Protein backbone atom coordinates (compact mmCIF):
# COMPACT_ATOMS: atom_id res chain seq x y z
CA UNK A 1 0.00 0.00 0.00
CA UNK A 2 2.70 2.43 1.05
CA UNK A 3 4.67 1.51 -2.05
CA UNK A 4 1.68 2.34 -4.24
CA UNK A 5 1.25 5.73 -2.62
CA UNK A 6 4.93 6.55 -2.86
CA UNK A 7 4.93 5.46 -6.50
CA UNK A 8 1.90 7.64 -7.11
CA UNK A 9 3.57 10.65 -5.53
CA UNK A 10 6.75 10.08 -7.51
CA UNK A 11 4.79 10.09 -10.78
CA UNK A 12 2.96 13.17 -9.49
CA UNK A 13 6.26 15.05 -9.32
CA UNK A 14 7.10 13.89 -12.86
CA UNK A 15 3.70 14.92 -14.24
CA UNK A 16 3.96 18.27 -12.48
CA UNK A 17 7.33 19.09 -14.06
CA UNK A 18 6.28 20.67 -17.40
CA UNK A 19 3.37 22.45 -15.71
CA UNK A 20 5.53 23.95 -12.97
CA UNK A 21 8.25 24.98 -15.42
CA UNK A 22 5.66 26.56 -17.71
CA UNK A 23 4.23 28.40 -14.73
CA UNK A 24 7.65 29.78 -13.74
CA UNK A 25 8.09 31.01 -17.28
CA UNK A 26 4.75 32.77 -16.92
CA UNK A 27 5.71 34.22 -13.54
CA UNK A 28 8.89 35.90 -14.82
CA UNK A 29 7.04 37.34 -17.80
CA UNK A 30 3.99 38.56 -15.99
CA UNK A 31 5.73 39.81 -12.86
CA UNK A 32 7.54 42.17 -15.22
CA UNK A 33 4.28 43.11 -16.93
CA UNK A 34 4.25 40.99 -20.08
CA UNK A 35 1.42 38.48 -20.59
CA UNK A 36 2.66 35.31 -22.25
CA UNK A 37 0.03 32.96 -23.66
CA UNK A 38 2.65 31.65 -26.10
CA UNK A 39 4.14 29.23 -23.56
CA UNK A 40 2.37 26.34 -25.27
CA UNK A 41 3.97 27.22 -28.59
CA UNK A 42 7.39 27.74 -27.04
CA UNK A 43 7.23 24.34 -25.36
CA UNK A 44 6.04 22.62 -28.53
CA UNK A 45 8.77 24.14 -30.69
CA UNK A 46 11.47 23.38 -28.14
CA UNK A 47 10.24 19.78 -27.90
CA UNK A 48 10.42 19.39 -31.68
CA UNK A 49 13.79 21.02 -32.25
CA UNK A 50 15.46 19.31 -29.31
CA UNK A 51 14.30 15.95 -30.65
CA UNK A 52 15.63 16.72 -34.12
CA UNK A 53 19.01 17.63 -32.65
CA UNK A 54 18.91 14.53 -30.44
CA UNK A 55 18.31 12.23 -33.37
CA UNK A 56 20.72 13.81 -35.82
CA UNK A 57 23.57 14.40 -33.37
CA UNK A 58 22.90 11.57 -30.94
CA UNK A 59 23.89 13.95 -28.15
CA UNK A 60 21.17 14.50 -25.57
CA UNK A 61 23.01 17.32 -23.85
CA UNK A 62 23.41 19.27 -27.09
CA UNK A 63 19.72 18.61 -27.74
CA UNK A 64 18.79 19.97 -24.33
CA UNK A 65 20.84 23.10 -24.92
CA UNK A 66 19.26 23.74 -28.34
CA UNK A 67 15.79 23.14 -26.94
CA UNK A 68 16.33 25.63 -24.13
CA UNK A 69 17.71 28.21 -26.56
CA UNK A 70 14.73 27.68 -28.87
CA UNK A 71 12.42 28.73 -26.06
CA UNK A 72 14.60 31.75 -25.40
CA UNK A 73 14.60 32.83 -29.04
CA UNK A 74 10.81 32.57 -29.36
CA UNK A 75 10.40 34.50 -26.13
CA UNK A 76 12.77 37.18 -27.40
CA UNK A 77 10.57 37.51 -30.49
CA UNK A 78 7.55 37.83 -28.20
CA UNK A 79 9.43 40.49 -26.26
CA UNK A 80 10.34 42.49 -29.37
CA UNK A 81 6.78 42.38 -30.67
CA UNK A 82 5.20 43.39 -27.39
CA UNK A 83 7.83 45.75 -25.99
CA UNK A 84 9.43 47.37 -29.03
CA UNK A 85 6.33 47.39 -31.24
CA UNK A 86 3.83 47.58 -28.38
CA UNK A 87 1.55 45.05 -30.02
CA UNK A 88 -1.12 43.53 -27.87
CA UNK A 89 0.51 40.72 -25.98
CA UNK A 90 -2.38 38.30 -26.34
CA UNK A 91 -2.02 38.68 -30.10
CA UNK A 92 1.72 38.18 -29.98
CA UNK A 93 1.26 35.03 -27.89
CA UNK A 94 -1.37 33.70 -30.29
CA UNK A 95 1.04 34.36 -33.16
CA UNK A 96 3.70 32.28 -31.39
CA UNK A 97 1.21 29.46 -30.81
CA UNK A 98 0.07 29.29 -34.44
CA UNK A 99 3.63 29.70 -35.65
CA UNK A 100 4.64 26.75 -33.46
CA UNK A 101 1.97 24.52 -34.97
CA UNK A 102 3.17 25.39 -38.47
CA UNK A 103 6.88 25.29 -37.75
CA UNK A 104 6.83 21.97 -35.86
CA UNK A 105 4.54 20.39 -38.44
CA UNK A 106 6.87 21.52 -41.20
CA UNK A 107 10.03 20.37 -39.41
CA UNK A 108 8.42 17.10 -38.35
CA UNK A 109 7.52 16.20 -41.93
CA UNK A 110 10.91 17.20 -43.17
CA UNK A 111 13.18 15.68 -40.53
CA UNK A 112 11.33 13.27 -38.26
CA UNK A 113 8.45 11.65 -40.12
CA UNK A 114 8.81 8.08 -41.32
CA UNK A 115 9.25 9.20 -44.93
CA UNK A 116 12.29 11.30 -43.98
CA UNK A 117 13.96 8.11 -42.62
CA UNK A 118 15.59 9.92 -39.69
CA UNK A 119 18.38 8.46 -37.55
CA UNK A 120 17.23 6.56 -34.49
CA UNK A 121 16.35 8.42 -31.34
CA UNK A 122 19.01 8.17 -28.63
CA UNK A 123 16.19 7.69 -26.10
CA UNK A 124 15.65 9.71 -22.95
CA UNK A 125 17.87 10.98 -20.15
CA UNK A 126 18.59 8.21 -17.63
CA UNK A 127 17.45 8.48 -14.04
CA UNK A 128 20.03 10.08 -11.81
CA UNK A 129 19.38 9.05 -8.21
CA UNK A 130 20.98 11.50 -5.81
CA UNK A 131 23.42 9.72 -3.50
CA UNK A 132 22.37 9.59 0.16
CA UNK A 133 19.19 11.62 -0.37
CA UNK A 134 17.64 8.82 -2.43
CA UNK A 135 17.87 6.51 0.60
CA UNK A 136 15.65 8.66 2.80
CA UNK A 137 12.51 6.62 3.36
CA UNK A 138 9.43 7.86 1.46
CA UNK A 139 10.94 11.25 0.47
CA UNK A 140 13.83 9.61 -1.36
CA UNK A 141 11.76 7.77 -3.98
CA UNK A 142 9.35 10.70 -4.31
CA UNK A 143 11.89 13.45 -4.92
CA UNK A 144 15.39 12.07 -5.45
CA UNK A 145 15.20 9.23 -7.97
CA UNK A 146 14.32 11.19 -11.08
CA UNK A 147 15.64 12.33 -14.44
CA UNK A 148 17.56 15.63 -14.59
CA UNK A 149 14.81 18.03 -15.76
CA UNK A 150 12.67 17.08 -12.77
CA UNK A 151 15.50 18.16 -10.48
CA UNK A 152 15.91 21.34 -12.48
CA UNK A 153 12.23 22.06 -11.88
CA UNK A 154 12.57 21.49 -8.13
CA UNK A 155 15.62 23.76 -7.94
CA UNK A 156 13.96 26.43 -10.08
CA UNK A 157 11.04 26.54 -7.66
CA UNK A 158 13.31 27.83 -4.93
CA UNK A 159 15.47 29.84 -7.30
CA UNK A 160 12.48 31.68 -8.76
CA UNK A 161 11.20 32.51 -5.29
CA UNK A 162 14.64 33.68 -4.21
CA UNK A 163 15.21 35.83 -7.30
CA UNK A 164 11.79 37.43 -7.17
CA UNK A 165 11.64 38.24 -3.48
CA UNK A 166 15.22 38.41 -2.21
CA UNK A 167 17.30 40.10 -4.92
CA UNK A 168 17.40 43.67 -6.26
CA UNK A 169 16.63 42.25 -9.70
CA UNK A 170 13.45 40.67 -8.35
CA UNK A 171 12.41 43.91 -6.73
CA UNK A 172 12.97 45.76 -9.99
CA UNK A 173 11.03 43.13 -11.87
CA UNK A 174 8.05 43.41 -9.57
CA UNK A 175 8.20 47.20 -9.61
CA UNK A 176 8.14 47.20 -13.40
CA UNK A 177 5.18 44.83 -13.38
CA UNK A 178 3.16 46.77 -10.86
CA UNK A 179 3.96 50.39 -11.62
CA UNK A 180 6.35 50.92 -14.54
CA UNK A 181 6.04 54.72 -14.36
CA UNK A 182 7.24 54.76 -10.77
CA UNK A 183 10.03 52.32 -11.58
CA UNK A 184 11.11 54.52 -14.47
CA UNK A 185 11.14 57.57 -12.22
CA UNK A 186 13.62 55.96 -9.84
CA UNK A 187 15.89 55.11 -12.76
CA UNK A 188 14.96 51.53 -13.62
CA UNK A 189 15.14 50.82 -17.33
CA UNK A 190 11.64 49.37 -17.82
CA UNK A 191 12.30 48.04 -21.31
CA UNK A 192 15.56 46.34 -20.34
CA UNK A 193 14.02 44.64 -17.30
CA UNK A 194 11.15 43.37 -19.44
CA UNK A 195 13.38 42.16 -22.28
CA UNK A 196 15.65 40.21 -19.94
CA UNK A 197 12.81 38.69 -17.91
CA UNK A 198 10.80 37.57 -20.91
CA UNK A 199 13.83 36.08 -22.66
CA UNK A 200 15.06 34.25 -19.55
CA UNK A 201 11.52 33.00 -18.98
CA UNK A 202 11.57 31.61 -22.51
CA UNK A 203 14.61 29.52 -21.61
CA UNK A 204 12.50 27.91 -18.86
CA UNK A 205 9.69 27.22 -21.33
CA UNK A 206 12.32 25.66 -23.60
CA UNK A 207 13.41 23.41 -20.75
CA UNK A 208 9.79 22.41 -20.22
CA UNK A 209 9.55 21.58 -23.92
CA UNK A 210 12.65 19.39 -23.71
CA UNK A 211 11.00 17.41 -20.93
CA UNK A 212 8.40 16.11 -23.38
CA UNK A 213 10.89 14.65 -25.83
CA UNK A 214 14.18 14.15 -24.01
CA UNK A 215 12.77 12.92 -20.74
CA UNK A 216 9.26 11.64 -21.18
CA UNK A 217 8.73 9.99 -24.57
CA UNK A 218 11.99 9.98 -26.49
CA UNK A 219 10.23 10.84 -29.77
CA UNK A 220 8.31 13.85 -31.04
CA UNK A 221 4.60 13.67 -31.86
CA UNK A 222 2.60 16.45 -33.48
CA UNK A 223 0.82 18.59 -30.87
CA UNK A 224 2.39 16.54 -28.11
CA UNK A 225 2.22 19.35 -25.56
CA UNK A 226 -1.59 19.02 -25.80
CA UNK A 227 -2.53 22.17 -23.93
CA UNK A 228 -0.02 21.75 -21.09
CA UNK A 229 1.23 25.28 -21.74
CA UNK A 230 -2.25 26.60 -21.04
CA UNK A 231 -2.61 24.42 -17.98
CA UNK A 232 0.72 25.85 -16.80
CA UNK A 233 -0.83 29.32 -17.12
CA UNK A 234 -3.74 28.03 -15.08
CA UNK A 235 -1.27 26.83 -12.45
CA UNK A 236 0.37 30.26 -12.45
CA UNK A 237 -2.92 32.13 -11.93
CA UNK A 238 -4.00 29.46 -9.49
CA UNK A 239 -0.81 30.03 -7.53
CA UNK A 240 -1.39 33.79 -7.66
CA UNK A 241 1.83 34.48 -9.59
CA UNK A 242 4.03 33.04 -6.82
CA UNK A 243 6.51 30.17 -7.38
CA UNK A 244 5.46 28.07 -4.39
CA UNK A 245 1.78 28.57 -5.10
CA UNK A 246 2.27 27.61 -8.73
CA UNK A 247 4.29 24.58 -7.70
CA UNK A 248 1.46 23.47 -5.42
CA UNK A 249 -1.04 23.96 -8.23
CA UNK A 250 1.12 21.98 -10.64
CA UNK A 251 1.41 19.21 -8.06
CA UNK A 252 -2.35 19.06 -7.54
CA UNK A 253 -2.76 18.82 -11.27
CA UNK A 254 0.01 16.27 -11.59
CA UNK A 255 -1.48 14.23 -8.77
CA UNK A 256 -4.90 14.09 -10.40
CA UNK A 257 -3.12 13.00 -13.56
CA UNK A 258 -1.06 10.29 -11.86
CA UNK A 259 -4.13 9.12 -9.96
CA UNK A 260 -6.25 8.75 -13.07
CA UNK A 261 -3.56 6.73 -14.84
CA UNK A 262 -3.42 4.49 -11.77
CA UNK A 263 -7.21 4.14 -11.76
CA UNK A 264 -7.28 3.33 -15.45
CA UNK A 265 -4.93 0.44 -14.85
CA UNK A 266 -6.71 -0.92 -11.80
CA UNK A 267 -10.39 -0.18 -12.40
CA UNK A 268 -11.23 -0.90 -16.02
CA UNK A 269 -14.96 -0.65 -15.28
CA UNK A 270 -15.00 3.12 -14.97
CA UNK A 271 -14.97 4.66 -18.48
CA UNK A 272 -11.46 6.06 -18.85
CA UNK A 273 -12.77 9.34 -20.23
CA UNK A 274 -14.16 10.31 -16.84
CA UNK A 275 -10.81 9.63 -15.23
CA UNK A 276 -8.97 11.62 -17.90
CA UNK A 277 -11.23 14.59 -17.36
CA UNK A 278 -10.80 14.48 -13.59
CA UNK A 279 -7.71 16.72 -13.38
CA UNK A 280 -9.44 19.41 -15.43
CA UNK A 281 -12.59 19.19 -13.35
CA UNK A 282 -10.55 19.29 -10.18
CA UNK A 283 -8.78 22.45 -11.34
CA UNK A 284 -12.12 24.16 -11.92
CA UNK A 285 -13.50 23.10 -8.56
CA UNK A 286 -10.42 24.14 -6.61
CA UNK A 287 -10.26 27.40 -8.51
CA UNK A 288 -13.89 28.17 -7.75
CA UNK A 289 -13.99 27.04 -4.17
CA UNK A 290 -10.60 27.63 -2.66
CA UNK A 291 -8.76 30.30 -4.54
CA UNK A 292 -11.42 32.81 -5.51
CA UNK A 293 -10.43 35.95 -7.31
CA UNK A 294 -6.88 36.06 -8.59
CA UNK A 295 -5.35 39.49 -9.05
CA UNK A 296 -2.60 39.82 -11.65
CA UNK A 297 0.32 42.28 -11.40
CA UNK A 298 -1.16 45.73 -11.93
CA UNK A 299 0.64 46.55 -15.20
CA UNK A 300 0.34 43.01 -16.60
CA UNK A 301 -0.28 43.14 -20.36
CA UNK A 302 0.17 46.87 -20.78
CA UNK A 303 2.86 48.16 -23.10
CA UNK A 304 4.91 50.88 -21.45
CA UNK A 305 5.04 54.24 -23.14
CA UNK A 306 8.01 56.25 -22.01
CA UNK A 307 6.66 59.64 -20.97
Partner 1 sequence: MARRLLTGIGIPILALFSALLLGSFVILSTGGGWDKVLTAYGAVVYGAFLKPRGFSETLLAMTPLILTGLAVALAFKAGLFNIGGEGQFLIGSLCSVWIGYHLTGLPGIVLVPLGLIAGMLGGAFWAAIAGYLKSRLGSHEVINTIMLNYIAFNLGDFLVNSRGPMNDPTSSVPRSPMIALSAHLPRLNPGSPSDRLHAGVIIALLATAVIWWLLYKTTLGFELRTTGANPDAARYAGMNARRNLVLAMALSGSLAGLAGAVEVQGLNFNVPAAVQSFSAGYGFDAIAVALLGHNHPFGVVPGAFLFGAMRTGADLLQLRTGVSRYVISIIQALVLLFAAAPAIVRWIYRIRAERRVEEAPLTRGWGA
Among 5, 133, 159, 284, binds partner 1 (CB under 8 A): 284
* 307 binds partner 1, rule: CB under 8 A: no
Q: Choose between 38 and 141: whose C-beta lies nearer to partner 1.
A: 38
* 234 binds partner 1, rule: CB under 8 A: yes
Return the closest-CA partner of residue 28 out of 174, 162, 240. Answer: 174
* 233 binds partner 1, rule: CB under 8 A: yes
3-state SS track over 209-252: HHHHHHHHHCCCCCCCCCCHHHHHHHHHHHCCCCHHHHHHHHHH
Instruction: Quote the least distance from Cβ 88 to partner 1, whole Å.
Output: 5
Q: Choose between 55 and 92: whose C-beta lies nearer to partner 1.
A: 92
DSSP secondary structure letter of residue 303: P
Q: Choose between 69 and 101: whose C-beta lies nearer to partner 1.
A: 101
Return all residues near 14 (Cβ < 8 A) that are at least 6 apart: 146, 150, 216, 254, 258
- Interface mask toward partner 1 for 194-213; x: CB under 8 A: --------------------
DSSP secondary structure letter of residue 291: I
- Interface mask toward partner 1 for 30-59; x: CB under 8 A: -----x------------------------
* 238 binds partner 1, rule: CB under 8 A: yes
Q: Choose between 100 and 152: whose C-beta lies nearer to partner 1.
A: 100
Cα–Cα distance, 114 to 133 (Å, whole number)? 42
Interface segment toward partner 1; rule CB under 8 A; list 169-177, 180-188, 198-206, 281-289 = 281-289
φ/ψ of 127, rounded to 5, equals -70, 140
Return the closest-CA partner of residue 174 out of 242, 84, 83, 88. Answer: 242
Instruction: Quote the least distance from Cβ 199 to partner 1, whole Å.
Output: 18
Number of residues that bind partner 1 (CB under 8 A): 53
* 302 binds partner 1, rule: CB under 8 A: yes
Cα–Cα distance, 233 to 30 (Å, whole number)? 10
φ/ψ of 27, rounded to 5, equals -60, -50
* 178 binds partner 1, rule: CB under 8 A: no
Q: Choose between 108 and 125: whose C-beta lies nearer to partner 1.
A: 108
Restricting to residues 90-119, name those near partner 1 by CB under 8 A. 90-92, 94-99, 101-106, 108-110
Instruction: Quote the least distance from Cβ 194 to partner 1, whole Å.
Output: 14
Give the three-state DSSP class for 181. Answer: helix
Cα–Cα distance, 38 to 80 (Å, whole number)? 14
* Angle at which helices 60-79 and 89-107 cross, to 10°: 150
- The site for partner 1 (CB under 8 A) is made up of 35, 81, 85-92, 94-99, 101-106, 108-110, 227, 230-231, 233-234, 237-238, 271, 273-274, 276-277, 280-281, 283-284, 287-289, 291-296, 300-302
Amino acid sequence: MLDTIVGLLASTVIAATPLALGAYCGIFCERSGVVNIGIEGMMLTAACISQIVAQYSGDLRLALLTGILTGGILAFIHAVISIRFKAEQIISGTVINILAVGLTGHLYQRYLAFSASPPQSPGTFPKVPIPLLQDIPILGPIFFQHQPIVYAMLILTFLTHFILFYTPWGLRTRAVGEHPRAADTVGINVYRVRYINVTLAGLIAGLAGCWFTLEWVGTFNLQMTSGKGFIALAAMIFGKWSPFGSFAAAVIFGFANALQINFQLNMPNIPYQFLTMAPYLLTMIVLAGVIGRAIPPAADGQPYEKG
